[in-house]
Amino acid sequence: MAGEKSVETTGLLGWIDRRFPLTSSYKAHLSEYYAPKNFNFWYFFGSLSLLVLVLQIVTGIFLVMHYKPDAQFAFQSVEYIMREVPGGWFIRYMHSTGASMFFVVVYLHMTRALIYGSYRKPRELVWIFGVGIFLCLMAEAFFGYLLPWGQMSFWGAQVIVNLFSAIPFIGPELSIWIRGDYVVSDATLNRFFAFHVIAIPLVLLGLVAAHVIALHEVGSNNPDGVDIKAKKDKYGRPLDGIPFHPFYTVHDILGVAGFMIIFMAIIFFAPEMGGYFLEFNNFVPANPLVTPLHIAPVWYFTPFYSMLRATTDDFTWVLAGGAVLAAIVLFLRTKGLVKLIAPIVLLAVAVLLRLIDAKFWGVVAMGGAVVLLFFLPWLDYSPVKSIRYRPGWHKTLYGIFFANFIVLGYLGTQAPTDIFNLMSQIGTLIYLGFFFLMPVWSRLGTFKPVPDRVTFHAH
Binding-site members for a ubiquinone are 216
Measured in residues, the chain has a length of 459
Closest by alpha carbon to 371, among 138, 43, 50?
138
Q: Tell me how far apart the alpha carbons of residues 192 and 179 are, in angstroms, rounded to a whole number.
A: 9
Residues annotated as binding site for heme b?
A: 95, 109, 196, 211
Q: Which value, to the nearest 10 degrees, does the dihedral of the CA atoms of residues 413, 418, 424, 427 take?
A: -140
Closest by alpha carbon to 346, among 363, 370, 322?
322
The 3 state secondary structure assigned to the chain is CCCCCCCCCCHHHHHHHCCCCHHHHHHHHHHCCEEECCCCHHHHHHHHHHHHHHHHHHHHHHHHCCCCCCCCCHHHHHHHHHHCCCCHHHHHHHHHHHHHHHHHHHHHHHHHHHHHCCCCCCCHHHHHHHHHHHHHHHHHHHHHHHCCCEHHHHHHHHHHHHHHHHCCCCHHHHHHHHHCCCCCCHHHHHHHHHHHHHHHHHHHHHHHHHHHHHHHHHCCCCCCCCCHHHCECCCCCECCEEEHHHHHHHHHHHHHHHHHHHHHHHHHHCCCHHHCCCCHHHHCECCCCCCCCCCCCCHHHHHHHHHHHHCCHHHHHHHHHHHHHHHHHHHHHCCHHHHHHHHHHHHHHHHHHHHCCHHHHHHHHHHHHHHHHHHHHHHCCCCCCCHHHCCHHHHHHHHHHHHHHHHHHHHHHCCCCHHHHHHHHHHHHHHHHHHHCHHHHCCCCCCCCCCCCCCCCCC
Residues annotated as binding site?
A: 95, 109, 196, 211, 216
* Bridge partners, residue 36, by sequence: 241
CA 88, 90, 93, 95 torsion-angle sign: negative
Between the alpha carbon of residue 61 and those of residues 64, 71, 194, 203, the distances in Å are 5, 20, 13, 17
